[in-house]
Amino acid sequence: MKVKRKFQGVLLDEALRYLEHSPEVTIPKLLRLLEPWAQLPRHRHILQAVVTAWEDENNNWRRLLMRAFDQLAPPVRRRFLTNFLLNASLEGIPRGHALAAEHQINVPWAILMDPTSRCNLSCRGCWAQEYENTADLSLATMDRIIREGKELGIYMYLYSGGEPLLRATDIVALAERHDDCMFCAFTNGSLVDSQLALTLAQLGNVALALSVEGFAADTDGRRGAGSYEHMMNAMDHLRHHGALFGFSTCYHRDNTAGVVDPAFVDSMIARGAFFGWYFTYIPLGQHAEPQMLATAEQRLAVMQSIRQFRREKDLFFLDFWNDGDSSGGCIAGGRRYLHINAHGDVEPCAFVHYSDTNIHNVSLWEALHSPLFLQYRQNQPFHENLLLPCPLLDNPARLGQMVAASGARSTQHRDRESPEVLAAKCLPAARLWQTKAAEIWNEHLTAQ
Ligand code: SF4
């Protein structure tokens, strides 16, 4: 099997070289060459869907692929295929599943790390203000996490913060050291200049998710004057050099209509974005503004709009709270991902600021055995209705139960918020969404 894979790898390398010259001819060949790597039925299904999409000249996924070949620098195309598609997904996911089944723990597909809790902005309602904003993960610690992760088949690493590009030098160093991994940083874009964009395009294995809240008025309204322009300038630099980027948006009571406006999505595509990542506002910590929580109608509008966009737009969409039916519920606690903050606290999720384990004291393998992560594994999915995936936002009592059972503590150094206080802020919105989600889920079950 190994020899066969090696041979297929050589063929793939060859195909990638041809790809530079004639994508229209080579892409179908490349898709066929990827088939032996697709061990899971879900992966085979996705590959087949891409083949089918490719055969339709008007298909939005075909347009997305052609845009990738027009816009992205050759190292980016190559690293995306080998690092993201092969290493992280087609090979990494089955390996993680096998380890998880053998050891009865969760083994993630991706690790999200905060290189720093420092930030050069001060956005309204941002959770970063609840951590002490002076902490950094050292280069050596991040390097160790990645090395230990690769032994478990984890080749996907994301950065949040704080503003991760305050550590751009180390992010570049890690991408060079681990040129078999894919990286993506969530950034406000203010530190992206032409030189950094060129470096990322030459590396090929670092994508950026630029934070935006809609058009200029909504973005500057939450993130500060000039933020939208900084983000647009960053996109222009990245596009010019052929680096991979998308946008990340947080929808809340005041901007939801703007971020589901097709004109906004079209503007991101026109600017050169390849993916759009939708999150919703969570009222974490003492500076939170619970009135910013999206209403049930707004959450439904996001869900329906994104599902429609996926049929029409040449952009890859991720809907963090509303894709539970395709992800099998909550992906945290190492089931698909985990979060390590700038202090080294290993948290189930970027939005769950409780931990019983610090990466400075344990290996990644030991962290996956932590009591809180085992609680997640035992309790997932948190609701039979997969449109209610979250133990924090949709089923607020569940998080407190797991924190109590595991002995985990708040990692928010500034206010040490208890899960009960947080749950009380989420409960009114949760009750309204539970009613709406039950209606949709029942219709879905009836349709089946
Ligand atoms: S804990 Fe909530 S926000 Fe985090 S992955 Fe699970 S469902 Fe999503």
Written as tens digits, the pLDDT of the chain (448 aa) is: 455 556 556 666 666 666 666 777 778 878 887 888 888 888 888 888 888 888 898 999 999 999 998 999 999 998 998 899 999 999 999 999 999 999 999 999 999 999 999 988 877 777 666 666 789 999 999 999 999 999 999 999 999 989 999 999 999 999 999 999 999 999 999 999 999 999 999 999 999 999 999 999 888 888 888 889 999 999 999 999 999 999 999 999 999 999 999 999 999 999 999 999 999 999 998 889 999 999 999 999 999 999 999 999 999 999 999 999 999 999 999 999 999 999 999 999 999 999 999 999 999 999 999 999 999 999 999 999 999 999 999 999 999 999 999 999 999 988 899 999 999 999 999 999 999 999 999 987 777 6
The answer, yes or no, to whether any atom of ligand 1 lies below 6 A from the CB of 354, is no
Do residues 348 and 111 touch, judged by C-beta distance below 8 A?
no
The one-letter amino acid code at 113 reads M
Ligand 1: nearest atom to the Cα of 332: 5
Supply the pLDDT for residue 443.
87
What backbone phi and psi angles, to 5 degrees, belong to 411? Answer: -100, 5
Identify the three-state secondary structure at position 182.
strand
Supply the pLDDT for residue 145.
98
Q: How many residues does the chain have?
A: 448
Lookup: tokens for 283: 């009222």
The answer, yes or no, to whether any atom of ligand 1 lies below 6 A from the CB of 389, is yes
Does the bond joining 381 to the residue before it have cis omega, within 30 degrees of 0? yes
pTM of the complete model = 0.94
Ligand 1: nearest atom to the Cα of 349: 4
Distance from the alpha carbon of residue 148 to the mean position of ligand 1, in angstroms: 24
Supply the pLDDT for residue 167.
98
Residue 31 host element (H or E): helix 23-34
Distance from the alpha carbon of residue 332 to the mean position of ligand 1, in angstroms: 6
The answer, yes or no, to whether any atom of ligand 1 lies below 6 A from the CB of 332, is yes
Supply the pLDDT for residue 25.
76
Ligand 1: nearest atom to the Cα of 392: 2
The answer, yes or no, to whether any atom of ligand 1 lies below 6 A from the CB of 392, is yes
Q: CA 156 to CA 291: how far, in whole Å? A: 35
Do residues 224 and 183 touch, judged by C-beta distance below 8 A?
no
Distance from the alpha carbon of residue 253 to the mean position of ligand 1, in angstroms: 20
Supply the pLDDT for residue 2.
54
Q: CA 407 to CA 359: how far, in whole Å? A: 17
Supply the pLDDT for residue 12.
67
Distance from the alpha carbon of residue 146 to the mean position of ligand 1, in angstroms: 23
